[in-house]
Homo-oligomer: A and B are copies of this chain.
Amino acid sequence: MDINSEIAKLNWKREPYGLYEPIEYTLAAGGKRVRPQLAMIACQMFGGNEEEALPAALALEVFHNFTLLHDDVMDKADMRRGRPTVHVKWNENTAILSGDQMLIEAYKLLSDVPSDKLPKVLRLFNKMATEICEGQQYDVDFESMEHVTKDEYLMMIRLKTSVLLATALQIGAYIADADEQAQEALYQFGIAIGLAFQIQDDILDVWGDPKTFGKAVGGDISCNKKTFVYLEAMRRLGDEAKNLEQWYSQVLEDNTEKIAAVKAIFEQLGVREACENVVEDYTQKALAILDTLPQNVATDQLRHLAHKLHTRKD
């Protein structure tokens, strides 16, 4: 079952076009479709019926894209996946309303989950959706907090990024009648690879190769974003934190000097290696969990995914 073809089958040629065109646009932009794939893989791991898992898998992808649409409005981002964001191509009101409809469409897809499984799938989905909004709120709160601890940051990225991966896996397994322990194990695998993924993202933002990395290098430094890399540096600096804080209190037009200076501070402190070790730890934790689950093609696919997320350069 090919997720991209299933997504392409969703019909958005409905009136009023002003509501549905932006939804079609958003979903047509592509993306790796990791989240629905995780749900399908987890279902396959337990010998479940793929047809039964598909509606939830699609719901997760539509939901994920809804969060991107509204996030782009809130972040005032002009581009996503190399194309203008919806509020730029159309307008802000369209981004809000079509985003709302995307969230509803996710719940419409969910309603095609087998009836006996619907109550729990709905609860898992709602819990995940809530946690993602909470993560987004914490992310916003942290922008105006002078001091954010690494634990707070990990909590935020767990909510904002990991729980979606974790829930996709758990839902897929639940639909295939996996027992509670297996569901929980897959959920924790998802949390672990999600954290590894986001911290790797933070590392690449500083040290990524512009040719392979999809975004401008140093974006987080430019925006004074307190990522895992920055927080590790602050932790190591202690009293000497002033210099770094100084750079991080500035909003500049040209960030070339700032990025170079901050990157140098990070490198002096050995922060890169420390962060890469944390990514490695979470990845190992994830792989260890996989060893406790049924060993089959699906498990190998998840091993491969964990490795890919860990070693990626983009």
Cα–Cα distance between A303 and B278 once the two chains are bound (Å): 66
Tell me which of B19, B134, B138 contacts A134 (CB under 8 A): B19
B104 and A126 form a contact (CB under 8 A): yes
**A134 contacts across to B, CB distance below 8 A:** 15-16, 19
Q: Is A136 an interface residue (CB 8 A)?
A: yes
A-B contact pairs, 5 of them (CB 8 A): A70-B97, A100-B133, A103-B103, A111-B119, A118-B118
**In angstroms, how far is the closest chain B Cβ from the Cβ of A145?**
12
| Given A19-B137, A107-B122, A111-B123, 5 extra CB contacts under 8 A | A70-B100, A97-B136, A103-B103, A104-B129, A111-B122
Stoichiometry, copies per complex: 2
Interface bin, chain A? 35 or more
Query: Nearest chain-B residue to A108 (Cβ)?
Result: B126
Interface residues of A (CB under 8 A from B): 15-16, 18-19, 70, 73-74, 93, 96-97, 99-101, 103-105, 107-108, 110-111, 115, 118-119, 122-123, 126, 129-130, 133-134, 136-138, 140-141
B18 and A141 within 8 A (CB):
yes
Q: How far is the CA of A118 from the CA of B130 in the complex (A)?
A: 20
Expressed in whole angstroms, the Cα–Cα distance for A2 and B273 within the complex equals 60
